[in-house]
Structure formats: structure tokens, C-alpha cells
Amino acid sequence: METRPLSSQRLFWLLQIGGWLLVTPFAISISALVFQHPGMIIVFGVLRQAFGFGLTLGLWWLYRRWPAASFKLTPHAWKIVLACLLAAVADMLLTDAVHFALALPPIPPFVEHGTLFSRLALYVAWSALYFVIRQEIETRATALRLARAEATNREAELQLLRAQVNPHFLLNALSTIIGEAEENPAAVISTTHAVADYLRYSLGQRTHRARLGAELDAMGHYLAVEAAHLRNHGLDWKIEVGDDARSALTPTALVQPLVENAIKYGIRSSARPLRLRIQAAIRDDMLEVAVENTGEWLQRKPGERARDSTGIGLHNVRRRVILLCGERSSLEVLTPPGWVRIEVRLPFEPAPADA
């Protein structure tokens, strides 16, 4: 059965009613010790608590007029003390009126004065408890609003980062299919199947994390299409990943932008054919995914647009990995002789069986 969290108003009524019900037996016990007359016990033990219940509702009405979000105790302290004093005086006057109306025995002066101060202390304590609870509720509500806003912002940012995928893949695939349509029908069928298999995976992703092995299978289809498109330049690719790494839960579209980056900039600096390797392994409870290609690291040139440089794609990958996997995650660019290697490290987490 689903339970709903208590609203602040329901919580107030539960504490208000429950608190005064708990106070009443103590008040009756004290009244029984001070007064032997049954009428006095009823007035001071029961009716006075009913007056207190009503007067604190008046205090509640007053305090609610002060917005909780911008409430400061210091400028309102004198108002609270004054309100509690007025409530204590009203409490005493109402009690005296009932006492007089019922023609009950006189109250000793020390008892009357003592009850005034005790009721003042009671209303001050009630007010302090009210503001403490209200501040705690407001603090929790603010934290919840901030958490929801952050979650919404992260969701929007992740959606944006996922959407920044190379749009040229489909154009390259269509260009390849058209180019091979007359000369090599078998290549058209093979390329079409590869495109369909890749799109089936890509369009089927509805979450931000998935099993690494599923993306690597899709990358096999992706690279088959790219190899057909780059047949004049040549693309030699290989995926080297163990079963334990394939079972890891990773951000979706983790490998694809790294592969796109390797192909886009590798063909500018690599001898033919362009060689590309995808590797993944588990080391010290961390998943290490690497995409490397022959060639050289190309720095952004003066005047080159950010979207035309290698930085934007790698920045997106780094940002998504940190958002989804935490600050222990990292992306590093290495340049061993004749190669460019992009390494991503993130905490290893096995994917659920149905992922």
C-alpha cells in the first residue's frame, strides 16, 4: 500500500491535538494536588487546556502570516514574546471568568501569580517548538526543491549531450549504398543490414546507462558501415574486450563519440589504412575503456570553430561520464608514438541481467 508524506498542515494538527492531549493529564494531576475541590480540578486541569488549545491556534494564525522562506527570528522576537504574554493574560482572564461564573472557592494569590508565569512559559515553549519544526520543514522542502531542480537540469543536460552525435553517419551510409548500388549489390545488402542493426540499437535506448557489450555489438555494425564508406582510404578495426568488461554498466553512447573522433581526425593524419582499436578491461574495480587510432593528435587551430575541433566531443563524453558515474571517473588523451589513445575510466558496476 502506497503511503503519502504528511503535509505541513496535517503535521501541525497531529502535533497540536496530540500535544494538548498529553498536557491535559499532567495538568489534572497538578490541579488535584493543589486543589481538592472537583470544580477547581476541572477548570484548571481540563478547561484551561481547552483555552490553551484555542489560544495557540490564534498564535498559529499570527505566525503563519510571516513567510517561512524569509523568516528571521531577531526582528520578530519581541512580537513573539508580546503575543505569548497576551495569550497568557487572555488565558488567565478566561479562567477567572469561568471560576467566577461557577462560584468556586478563591485561588491563593501565590498560585494565581505562579500560574500566570507558568502559562507564559508554556506559550513561549509552544512558539519555540512551532518555529523549530517549521524551520526544519522549510529546510527539507528547500533541499527537496533544489534536488528536483538539479535532477531536472541533469536530465536536460544528459539529453542534450546524448543528442550531440555525428549526424554524418547516415549521410555516409546513404552515400555508400548509392555508390555501390550498380556495381556491388551484395555490398548494398550488407551495408543496409549493418545500418539497420546499428539504428535498431541506437533508437532502442531509453535510459542513460546500458551494458557495454550491447554498445560494442552496435559499434561493430557502425564500423562495418564506416569501413565501406572509407574503402578508398582503408579502415582496419578491431574490438578487444573480455566478457567481464562487456557485462559492465556504462553510460549509453560512451564508445560511439570516441570512435567518431578517431575516424574523423585519424584519416587526417594517419597513413593508409587507418587502424582503429577498441579495448576494455577491469582493473582494480575500475572499468577502463580505450579507443585508439593511428595518426597524430590534432590541436585546435587559431580561428577554427569549436564544433570542428576534437575538444567538443571529448568534453561531452567527460561531462556525461562524471554526471552519471561520479567524480572518480576520468577521460585522458594519450599520444604514444604513431597513435592517439583516448582512455575512459569509471567505477565498475555489473549490469543487471535484463540490461
Residue where a domain terminates, one of 103, 129, 159: 159
- Share of residues in the chain with pLDDT > 90 (%): 29
Per-residue pLDDT band at 152 (split at 50, 70, 90)? low
Assess whether 73 and 129 both reside in one domain.
yes
| 177 and 264 co-located in one domain | yes
* 253 pLDDT more than 50: yes
275 shares a domain with 176: yes
Per-chain mean pLDDT for the chain = 82
Residue 352 lies in a domain: no
Q: What is the average pLDDT across 306-328? A: 73
The closest alpha carbon to 17, from 53, 43, 59, belongs to 53
Spell out the long-range contacts of 241-245 with Cβ–Cβ below 8 A and sequence spacing 24 or more: 241/212, 241/213, 241/216, 241/278, 241/279, 241/280, 241/281, 242/280, 242/281, 242/282, 244/282, 245/212, 245/280, 245/281, 245/282, 245/287, 245/289
Out of 138, 159, 180, pick the residue that ends a domain. 159
The count of structural domains within the chain is 2
pLDDT for 155: 61
Q: Which residue did the predictor score with more confidence, 85 or 173? A: 85
Range of weakest confidence among 109-113, 117-121, 293-297: 109-113
159, 177, 199 — which closes off a domain? 159
Whether the CB-CB separation of 277 and 240 falls below 8 Å is answered with yes
So what's the pLDDT on residue 343?
Answer: 96
Looking at the structure, tell me whether residues 49 and 182 fall in a common domain. Answer: no
Average pLDDT over residues 233-253: 91
102 occurs within a structural domain = yes
Per the model's pLDDT, the better-predicted residue between 267 and 68 turns out to be 267
Within-domain flag for 123:
yes
Q: Is the C-alpha dihedral spanning 160, 165, 170, 172 positive or negative? A: positive
Q: Give the DSSP per-residue string, 100-116.
A: HHTTPPPPPHHHHHHHH
**For the segment 184-231, what is each residue's pLDDT rounded down to a tens digit?**
777 788 888 888 888 787 777 667 788 999 999 989 988 988 888 888
Pair 127, 202 in one domain: no
Q: What percent of the chain has pLDDT over 70?
A: 84
Say how far apart CA 328 and CA 342 lie, in whole Å. Answer: 17
Bridge partners (DSSP) of residue 81 are none
Range of the structural domain that residue 210 is part of? 164-347
Min mean pLDDT across 96-100, 175-179, 223-227 is at 175-179
pLDDT at 36 over 80: no
Is the distance from CB of 251 to CB of 321 less than 8 angstroms? yes
Q: How far is CA 59 from CA 64, 88, 211, 241, in A?
A: 9, 11, 58, 69
pLDDT at position 1 over 50: no
Calpha distance 318→161 (Å, rounded): 10
Range 321-338 average pLDDT: 89
Q: Are 208 and 251 in contact (CB under 8 A)?
A: yes
| Alpha carbon distances (Å) from 15 to 9, 25, 126, 129, 164 | 10, 16, 11, 10, 53
Examine the pLDDT at 179 and tell me if it is beyond 90: no
Residue linked to cell 489534572: 28
Residue 206 and residue 337 in one domain: yes
pTM of the model as a whole: 0.54
Per-residue pLDDT band for 251 (boundaries 50, 70, 90) equals confident
229 & 301 share domain:
yes
The verdict on 139 and 16 lying in the same domain is yes
Mark whether 144 and 229 lie in a shared domain.
no
- What is the distance between the alpha carbons of residues 151 and 149, in angstroms, rounded to a whole number? 5
Give the per-residue pLDDT at 279: 96
The CA distance from 21 to 152, in Å, is 44
Lowest mean pLDDT among 15-19, 179-183, 233-237: 179-183
